[in-house]
Amino acid sequence: MPTHDIIVIGTSAGGLKALGAIVGVLPADIDAVIFIVQHLAADQPSILPQILANVGSLPASHPSDGELIQTGRIYVAPPDHHLLVNQGSMRVVRGPQENRFRPAIDALFRSAARAYGTRTVGVILTGYLDDGTVGLQAIKKRGGVAIVQDPNEAEYPSMVKSALRYVKVDYCRPLAEIPDLLVQLSKEPAAEDEAYPVTEEIEIESNIAQQQMNTQALIQNVEKIGTRTTYTCPECNGSIWQIGVVDPLRFRCHIGHSFTAKVFLSEQTKYLENALWSAVRAMEEKITFSRQMSERMKNYNLQSAVEKYEDHAKGLDAEVSLIRGILLNGFATKRTVTEGEEDQPESL
């Protein structure tokens, strides 16, 4: 009988230490396979598999696209690529970012839930923001097991707190207890998958991550699981849909970019800030040009024209000062990411 032998782990800030604490004590004969996503810098090579292999007894690697899954191994998502799980093999693809990340925890968790259902164990560790919450929800919908690190010991507890808030978590444990729990679960029989069918939402979003649809099919499928909004995607400026009605509120565009509400609001703020700075730049160029024209009009003794250009420059000056005040004061004091959190990928 199948056991809980598909283990997916997601982490971000502070993740190296947490992963080491788990991987370092897992036995070499564990009858399971482990898939890991840690948010990594897209433009830097990663030695995370080497680090994990050195601290523990299990071999670890960045898999290649289409590689077959082997029990007793650790597979780590490479930088700038999603790691996705199919039955018996893996996909390593540069699909659309989810919550601004590639690799994304939600993408891995969702794919494992679709492929292996009740056999899947999802683990959320330390990290900022809320990547992993939606993926853990998918695992629970498919009858899998949800584990989170105790937020009281997590170096950055936001990800685990989000999971605890929105997911019916099976276990909340300190790092020291998670390895034994994983070994225990890998020996316990999993429930029958038939009781937890793949939902249309999980199926469609898994296919989006693998980029298995053309644009027309993608839009038609997103329409099936979402409601079109008046918003635009902060990544590509495309149309965006609200996906489902359960919390956390989330959105997906016709390209495939996906955001929870917290990340979407943060991205909107950045977009607005960039637009305002662009406006300041354009207006300051216009001020300079107006004053240049004013000087030229003086050479022709056209006083009315001089005054017109000067008045125009002064009016723009006042507007620029107003916008600068909003940028330097309003945006500095009204952060849209709670607790000032801004997740930065690590280079490992």
Average pLDDT in the chain: 91
Tell me the pLDDT tens digit for each residue of 305-319.
Answer: 999 999 999 999 999
Residue 118 placed within a domain: yes
- Cis peptide leading into residue 103 (ω within 30°): yes
Q: Is 58 within a domain? A: yes
Q: How many Å apart are CA 325 and CA 223, to the nearest integer?
A: 41
Domain presence at residue 225: no
pLDDT in tens, 196-215: 999 999 999 999 898 877 77
Token pair 């849909």: residue: 241
Do residue 179 and residue 326 come from a single domain?
no
Q: Is position 89 annotated as part of the catalytic site?
A: no
Q: Are 137 and 166 in contact (CB under 8 A)?
A: yes
Quote the CA–CA distance of 63 and 85 in Å, as a whole number: 11
Per the annotation, the verdict on 39 as an active-site residue is yes
Give residue 336's pLDDT band: very low, low, confident or very high (50, 70, 90).
very low
**Per-residue model confidence (pLDDT) at position 270:** 83
Q: pTM value?
A: 0.85
Concerning whether 304 is annotated as a catalytic residue, the answer is no
Check 12, 111, 186, 294 and give the catalytic one.
Answer: 12
Q: Could you tell me what percent of the chain has a pLDDT over 70?
A: 95
**Are 97 and 180 contained in the same domain?**
yes
Of 16-25, 152-161, 333-342, the range with the lowest mean pLDDT is: 333-342
Considering the candidates 4, 39, 82, 257, report the single residue annotated as catalytic: 39
Res 171 pLDDT > 80: yes
Same domain, 167 and 298: no
Q: Of the candidates 146, 175, 195, which is a domain's last residue? A: 195
Within a domain: residue 84? yes
Strand partners, 8: 35, 122
Domain boundary among 156, 172, 195: 195
Query: What is the total count of domains within the chain?
Result: 2
Euclidean distance between CA atoms 108 and 118, whole angstroms: 15
Percent of the chain past pLDDT 90, that is, above it, reads 74
Q: What is the DSSP string of 179-195?
A: HHHHHHHHHSBPPPGGG
Rounded to whole angstroms, how far apart are CA atoms 179 and 56?
A: 12
Note the pLDDT of residue 80.
95
Final residue of a domain: which of 195, 211, 228?
195
pLDDT band with cut points at 50, 70 and 90 for residue 185? very high
Upper half-sphere CA count for residue 31 (Cβ side, 13 Å) = 11
- The string of pLDDT tens digits covering residues 239-291 is 999 998 888 999 999 888 999 988 898 888 888 888 888 999 999 999 999 99
Q: Which two tokens stand for residue 56?
A: 């523990």
Active site residue: 5, 106, 130, 131, which one? 131
Note the pLDDT of residue 338: 45
For residues 309 and 2, the answer to whether their CB atoms sit within 8 Å is no
Token pair of 137 as six digits: 């929800």
Q: How far is CA 215 from CA 95, 238, 252, in A?
A: 13, 12, 14
Judge if 159 and 35 occupy the same domain: yes
Q: What is the pLDDT of residue 158?
A: 95
CATH number at residue 146: 3.40.50.180
Instruction: List the domain range (segments joined by +) for residue 334.
Output: 263-340
Q: Are residues 42 and 170 in the same domain?
A: yes
Question: With 80 as the cut, is the pLDDT of residue 86 above it?
Answer: yes
167 and 31: one domain?
A: yes
The predicted pLDDT at position 19 comes to: 97
pLDDT one-digit tens code per residue, 55-83: 999 999 999 999 999 999 999 999 999 99
Inside any domain, residue 303: yes
